[in-house]
Amino acid sequence: MSSKPSGGRGAGYGWRWALAGLVAVVALALAVWPREGDDNDVNSGRERSTRAASGVSDELRAAAGLSACPQPARGPGGNGPLAGITLECLADGRTVDLAAVLAGKPALLNLWAYWCAPCAQELPYLQQFAQRAGNAITVLTVHSDPDEAKALSRLSGLSVKLSGVLDADARVRTAVGAPAVLPVSVLLRADGSVADVVVRAFNGVDDIANTVAGELGVAA
């Protein structure tokens, strides 16, 4: 009976260990190698986490059917008292750089809350005005209360589809120096400066149109 030399057995084990080491190195390289789409996946995950943290479901947002928030225009970012303020878009929960999305066009910001009766009367007028004005001016609602779910339900009940943001800490009101009452409408020039702060409820579409034309020169 013969047997393999001990040296051959040692060489076989050596090759096995070398091969195992090579496989481990390749696996490690594949694990850390950057892959196309990873950044998008991470960003999407962060957005989903942000929306989940707000406590508002995608179903509730979909039922409200709000218009998407404005997108930043090309060119320099926005200036004025709203510079640096980021808020959550009611339509999809994404973060909105307020000054950036309003830059380059006159704007009407309507500060309201779900519990405000005069706000509920005024919001449908604002939607009608926005439809009349078209692209000449940006009309954005600013819910000045932390209860986002009730804001969406209120807008849904009023059939108001205007784009809007959540301002849980009343940062817009503080930035423009408005009093702690609602509703308040802030009229902004295209450069981001404040033309007027209207501390009352509008009584109709013509009232809004006349006020905007007088302060911003926008006809609707």
138-160 pLDDT per residue, tens = 999 999 999 999 999 999 999 99
Question: Which pLDDT value is given to residue 46?
Answer: 37
Token look-up 């707000």 returns: 54
Question: What is the arithmetic mean of pLDDT over 105-116?
Answer: 98
Rg over alpha carbons for the chain, rounded to the nearest Å, is 28
Beta sheet of 95-97, edge-to-edge order: 95-97, 86-89, 164-166, 138-143, 107-112, 184-188, 194-198
- For residues 33 and 184, the model is more confident at 184
Q: Is the pLDDT of residue 100 over 50?
A: yes
Cα(180)–Cα(169) distance, integer angstroms: 12
- For residues 55 and 171, the model is more confident at 171
Say how many CA atoms lie within 13 Å of 186 toward its Cβ.
26
Task: Tell me the domains of the chain and their CATH numbers.
Answer: 57-216 (3.40.30.10)
Tell me if 155 sits within 8 A of 124, measured CB to CB.
Answer: no
- Cα-Cα-Cα-Cα dihedral sign, residues 10, 14, 17, 23: negative
48-95 pLDDT per residue, tens = 333 444 578 889 999 999 999 999 977 666 789 999 999 999 999 999
Question: Which pLDDT value is given to residue 78?
Answer: 74
- For residues 113 and 58, the model is more confident at 113
Cα(214)–Cα(212) distance, integer angstroms: 5
pTM of the model: 0.76
Question: Which pLDDT value is given to residue 12?
Answer: 52
Question: Which pLDDT value is given to residue 21?
Answer: 54
Question: Which pLDDT value is given to residue 77?
Answer: 65
Question: Which pLDDT value is given to residue 16?
Answer: 54
Averaged pLDDT score across all residues of the chain: 82
